[in-house]
Amino acid sequence: MAIQDIKVPDIGDYTDVPIIEIHVQAGDKIQVEDPLITVESDKASMDVPAPAAGTVKEVRVKLGDTVSEGSTILMLEAEAEQTPPPAAAPSSPPTAAPSTGQIADFSRVHASPSARRLARELEVDLPRVPPTGLKGRVTQEDIRSFAKGGAPAAASASTGAPTAGGGLDLLPWPKVDFSKFGPVETQPLSRIKKISGANLHRNWVQIPHVTNHDEADITDLEAFRVQFNKANEKAGIKVSMLAFMIKAAVASLKQFPEFNASLDGDNLILKQYYHIGFAADTPNGLVVPVIRDADQKGVAEIAQEMGALAKLARDGKLKPDQMQGGCFTISSLGGIGGLYFTPIINAPEVAIMGVCRSYWKQVSPDGKQSEWRFVLPLSLSWDHRVIDGAAAARFNVHFANLLADMRRIIM
């Protein structure tokens, strides 16, 4: 088998574009059109595909490197009788074919890398999807609609009219020269904030959010947590309150299965697994790693896995599959402060729990004598298309009761 020097193909006039993702490593077996790296220009990101199938012998680039046409990406031990296809045009970032095993001709399709990735996941023949985006771009919504056998949304870019799906007819965003009023500095958004911002905007606009606020008495649980951490200090085991919340979330989802669901058109997909996401703060923005099968893990194991995932998130090394498949998300601001907030639901989930910093509060259970208790503020946002107010209130109360006495979980 011949060793091939795999280089960056013609990517137009772009030079010295940074590598933001590397999809392969030495020893990987790849197929034609598998993505090798993703580069990001000042206008868009694009995948660079494999021109031949074979085994990766050596990767010659690393994250953050800048490349141009002709830059070496990797050394490939190609399979016999492989003939590299011509380089794809930069206006249509190439992508892998559907999982049917046939190579689809996506080279003439105008779509983003994320849309192409969605087409692969849904096994959609991208050239057959009617585009509704600007300049004939195939959008993710076009792909989803096509996969379900529905008609594409009506295009309205030129007229400004609402789309067929009841889109918003909004005024254009104001264009302001801020430098006229004083000194300014322009700072580009990080890639994570660009991606998460688009997702958050979609979720906020398309999901009818309602937020219930409550509080949990965690006086006894916090005392136990401190005692447990002290007893296991030499073993290097440290449990946060969030690990207990994940176990409480699992038990609550089992009690209220409509919260462990996703909406698919007129159907509700009820999940029989319990993968819990938690929002992790990184230098580049928030990401949501997922603890898989949290129902099958103890609090200490969850805490250790959370620590490992949080470190990967801070280092920018989380893999896509470590952020997928979540059923329910917990967003904790406990280390910062505040009382209550409205967390945005992480679609396609139908609810999210937000928690803030715990505080001491004087209460009077019997209306006569008062005592100080340590309480945790809870903010549960839920999708009103799936969940009603009474169910949300019951979920919050159940969740709070579990934290007040974790023995309820084993009953």
**Interatomic CA distance for residues 345 and 381, integer angstroms:** 7
Cα 207–146–135 angle (5° rounding)?
85
What strands lie across the sheet with 29-30, from one edge to the other?
A: 3-7, 72-78, 54-59, 29-30
DSSP letters spanning 103-130: PP--TT--B-HHHHHHHHHTT--GGGSP
Note if 384 is an active site residue. yes
Beta bridge partners of 214: 378
Residue 375 · residue 217 · CB < 8 Å: yes
What are the b/e assignments for 222-246, b being 16+ CB within 10 Å? Answer: beebeeeeeeeeeeeebbbbbbbbb
The residues facing 276 across adjacent strands are 291, 328
Give the span between the Cα atoms of 100 and 178, in whole angstroms: 52
Residue whose tokens read 């601001």: 333
Active-site residue, from 110, 213, 384, 398 = 384
Active site residues: 384
